[in-house]
Amino acid sequence: MANMNKRFHILFFRNAQMYLLATDIICLITFLLIPFSYGQSRLISTFHSKTPISNVEIANNTIYIGAENFLYSLNAENLTLIQSVTTGPVLDSHLCNSELSSCIGSRARLSIVETNNYNKILHRLPGSLLTCGSVRQGVCELRSLDNISRVIKNSTVAVAANSQNASTISLIDNKNEKLYVAATYSYDSPYREGFPAITTRLLYNFLPINAGSLDGEAAVHIRAEYRSRFRVNYIHAFRDEHYVYWATVQNKYVVSTAYSKKVTKLIRVCQDDDK
Ligand SMILES: *[C@@H]1O[C@H](CO)[C@@H](O)[C@H](O)[C@H]1NC(C)=O
Ligand SMILES: *[C@@H]1O[C@H](CO)[C@@H](O)[C@H](O)[C@H]1NC(C)=O
Ligand SMILES: *[C@@H]1O[C@H](CO)[C@@H](O)[C@H](O)[C@H]1NC(C)=O
Ligand SMILES: *[C@@H]1O[C@H](CO)[C@@H](O)[C@H](O)[C@H]1NC(C)=O
Ligand SMILES: *[C@@H]1O[C@H](CO)[C@@H](O)[C@H](O)[C@H]1NC(C)=O
């Protein structure tokens, strides 16, 4: 469901199935009823987000929405707003660590400015809501399902892309407590040293599996000299058998400019890979 900088219509039909249609027109969640006879649809209920929506989760009769600077929870039956939580703009700089307690270079503190927070990851876990935004190096929080403004746990581990236009596409495996994340390379920062393109993370500490191990961790990196030019845009992720796949659009050649020819590829990792 995740899609960078796309706005969504969410359409509810009688059979209660949810369809997401990415459009660039409006941020609108609509509730439609399709009568039996004619092909006409009747609008029952709508929800307007003030800012572009990036992720949607539906669970236990609640819709959770991650948007630019906002998180929302809605009643899934009638789209009534339950809660709206502001997540940005916040003071931030990609030259500083997630807590802003240390910055690289003597003048880096001047780069701390009010920054929009784009929701990059949103998943419903068994007892909490996982949210990761583009600010503070893409760190994540676990929030209470009943009160999404209540942060149960925070972290200093960089997980999501740290800029507006860098994609982040993730899947969770609640049973094995894993989080599969692919993130487009964005700002270089000493606080994202070794940030992987694709990684399998442990759900509750957010670190790549076997992080720091000499035998290798469950992560794929793009070599430093290519990272800024070899842009991989992650579009969607899915599972099949024991694999996790990401559909991507990327430069055809590793050595190429940002505007050179693009190709579509599927990237596949084993769900159980730990190196
Ligand atoms: C679903 O929501 C209801 C009402 O908020 C709550 O009482 C119940 O515990 C929730 N169930 C799960 C499985 O989270
Ligand atoms: C929406 O549905 C919930 C429970 O299903 C109900 O409590 C609430 O009053 C409804 N709101 C409106 C505006 O219909
Ligand atoms: C994490 O939570 C603690 C305690 O609530 C707070 O002091 C700290 O600033 C938070 N850290 C981040 C990175 O949000
Ligand atoms: C939700 O959590 C926030 C932050 O912890 C708190 O200030 C607020 O009172 C809570 N709201 C409800 C309805 O419990
Ligand atoms: C990101 O995308 C938005 C909307 O497409 C565009 O206006 C903006 O200039 C882009 N920013 C960067 C840094 O590329």
Q: What is the chain's pLDDT, residue by residue, as a tens digit (275 residues)?
A: 333 333 333 434 333 333 333 333 345 565 544 444 455 667 888 999 999 999 999 999 999 999 999 999 999 999 999 999 999 999 999 999 999 999 988 888 899 999 999 999 999 999 999 999 999 999 999 999 999 999 999 999 999 999 999 999 999 999 999 999 999 998 777 888 789 999 999 999 999 999 888 788 899 888 888 887 888 999 999 999 999 999 999 988 887 766 778 999 999 999 998 87
Per-residue pLDDT, 238: 97
Q: Are residues 4 and 55 in the same domain?
A: yes
CATH number at residue 35: 2.40.10.480
Q: With the C-alpha atoms ordered 150, 148, 83, 71, is the resulting torsion angle positive or negative?
A: positive
CB atoms within 10 A of CB 235: 15
Closest protein CA for atom 6 of ligand 4: 150
168 and 136 in a common domain = yes
Query: Domain span at residue 50?
Result: 1-82
Same domain, 69 and 112: no
Determine the pLDDT at residue 189: 79
φ/ψ (deg, to 5) at 224: -50, -40
Q: Which of 41, 65, 82 corresponds to the end of one domain?
A: 82
Q: Is the CB of 154 under 6 A from ligand 3?
A: yes
Position 207 in a domain: yes
Q: What is the DSSP letter of 207?
A: P
Q: Whose CA is nearest to atom 11 of ligand 5?
A: 165
Q: Can you give the pLDDT at residue 38?
A: 52
Sign, CA dihedral 248-251-255-256, equals negative
CB-defined site of ligand 5, < 6 Å: 5, 164-165
- Please report whether residue 40 resides in a domain: yes
pTM: 0.85
State whether 59 and 98 are in the same domain: no
Check residue 166 and give left, alpha or beta (phi > 0: left; psi -120 to 50: alpha): beta
Based on the domain organization, do 185 and 208 belong to the same domain? yes
As for ligand 1, residues whose beta carbon falls within 6 Å of it are: 60, 146
Name the domain boundary from 82, 111, 136: 82
Q: In 10 A of CB 264, how many CB atoms? A: 10
When divided into structural domains, the chain yields a total of 2
Confidence (pLDDT) at 206: 96
Report CA(31)–ligand 5 centroid distance (Å).
Answer: 30
Which among 60, 82, 104 is the end of a domain? Answer: 82
